[in-house]
Structure 1
Amino acid sequence: MKVLVEALAAEFGGIRTYVEQLLAAWEIAYPDDELTVLVPVGSDLPTGSHRRRELAIPGPDIVARPLVHTLAIRRLVAETGADAVLATLPNTSLRHPGVPLTVVVHDLRHELRPEQFSRGRRLVRALAYGRAYRLADHIVSVSQRSLDDLHRLHPQMTATPSSVVHHGADHVPQQEFRPHRGPAVAFAHHTNKNPDLVLAAWALATATGVEVPELLLVGTGSDRERLTARAVEHGVGDQVTMAPYLDDAAFADALADASAIVFPSSFEGFGLPVLEGMLASVPVVIGPEPATQEVAGGWAAVAEGWSAAELLDAVQRACAYDVQHLESARRHAASFTWQRTVEQTRATLGR
């Protein structure tokens, strides 16, 4: 099979992890397939032995990109003899590529949590995603939660064939259980990760004498000063370490000794840190959010609500998990493989 893979947006975060691991697993599972991967000029996204085409966007991205993108897709389909196009994000050509088009839907956060996006970003997404939905011959959703959101917000999409294809997690080394004495790891690179709620839970623990591990808050970025001030205000400044967004190696090191993964995200399309923690035999804490509960499969401690007290209760339950529970959680997470992701994705292209 010859596939044109659109990866123009896979530069960082979860979408980069998804594309990078998908391409690597595809190379192993289907070595005879010919994949051409479209990336921006200067991209450092690894594409392995797959063909690589870099696309330059002259002028303002918001204006030039749709036209350049459309022309490039049509040209590359003709040049490569592609049997199908896989758009790894709902931001694709303005015209149908002329061969079956599968569009991957990660989440609809810009519609369900519009306050987390600028007005311009919401407009761009609405236009680009709406067009991609109309052009798609098949939808691949990374979770049932995202597919349900798509069908509820865009009921016309129920007529488009769709599949739920979960991410893999086996890029994370599996570890046998051992006592983890490092800090709990939480996230701050997007507002939906709820870092303020985590700090409030740690403050409540201090105020009530509840013992919790120290906290490593990763992905603080431009919000570092505000979060540092909030931690000091809560009286937990000496218990919290603020860290930038960690690369894969640094995150693996943090995970290796973490006491817990605290992930009370208010909105996820999938929630890869849930599985990453389980594979490392680390207790995982999540909020009452559909996608993370779908991924966790009952093996994470779920906060009953969005208050500091409810999150702290879940942290205490997670930290009390025994070896048997953590081993069962690890086996559950190990069933999410990138080979399965590739097999199911490729099957949609074959249709």
Structure 2
Amino acid sequence: MTLSVSVTVERWPVDGSFIISRGTKTHVDIVLCTISDGLHVGIGEATPIYYEGESADKCADDISQFVAKHPKLDRAILLQKMPRGAARNALDCALWDLDCRKNGTSLSQHAGLPEPRPLISAFTISLDRPEIMETKAREAALNGHGLLKLKLSGQDDQARVAAVHRGAPAARLIVDANESWNDLDIAAEAARLGPYAVELIEQPVSAGQDHLLSGVRSPVLLCADESCHTSADVERIAPFYDAVNIKLDKAGGLTEAMAIAHAAQAMNLKIMVGCMLSTSWGIRPAFALAQLAQWVDLDGPLLLAKDRPVGFRFDSGTIAPANWKD
């Protein structure tokens, strides 16, 4: 069956600014893909990974060109013919959504994932001066967030973590080094963070430099992010990490993201499911996958100035669909 595909680019303002070691964002451009069989419509949202050279306009062009060449679209063709990334994510998730609407099933049922339940999601504290991060952490704790993720840069990291811990002493912490610890003693850096309830360190070294972790005895679990894009990467990174952060935009869709999760489980790696800045439509499939995860970081919509009219409910640090019945 030939499907009708349309793609648009939308710009969504960030609530204030979102700061990591690579720069500051005041808005996010997302790609919205709609697929119709004439009776049913599926929607997929994706956020281009800018540090890999993606842009919303390029992703939209890639989708249009791919659909023109492959009018009989399905998920198997996507995996075989289209490179991973946000463009494939938008198409893949739209196809999953279309199938669910055609069959009258939930995504979890259709994908064979556990029945959804509300999840504790991390709330991100942007990279900033320690005193500002402390204030943001205190505000987050007052709003019920018990799991915080803070961005680091490789400089003054202990001061930033200590400040966040002062602001939210009861909170569990995840730190994201964003590939900034290449030249540091990683075990020593991790040991310095131990007293502050840090339970996971994301991507301490640059992607492709994972060998720097060989023999490192970290007192805090290490999680691969940029070093693991697809299921084919899992076996390679497993000797160096304890966990893997799965993002649908990075993997190129829910189909490949599930393959990463299953490969990680087979290698005894723990799972984190994260997201880029996005609206609630962008994290719908990630929420289904996150039912398998030990850590969830799906606060993308919370970091925007506004969300879709019917989005996820974020309540006291938990995330659930807007129509969730307690």
Q: TM-score, normalising length from structure 2?
A: 0.30
- Higher share of residues assigned helix: 1
Q: TM-score, normalising length from structure 1?
A: 0.28
Where relative contact order (Cα < 8 A, 6+ residues apart) is larger, the structure is 2
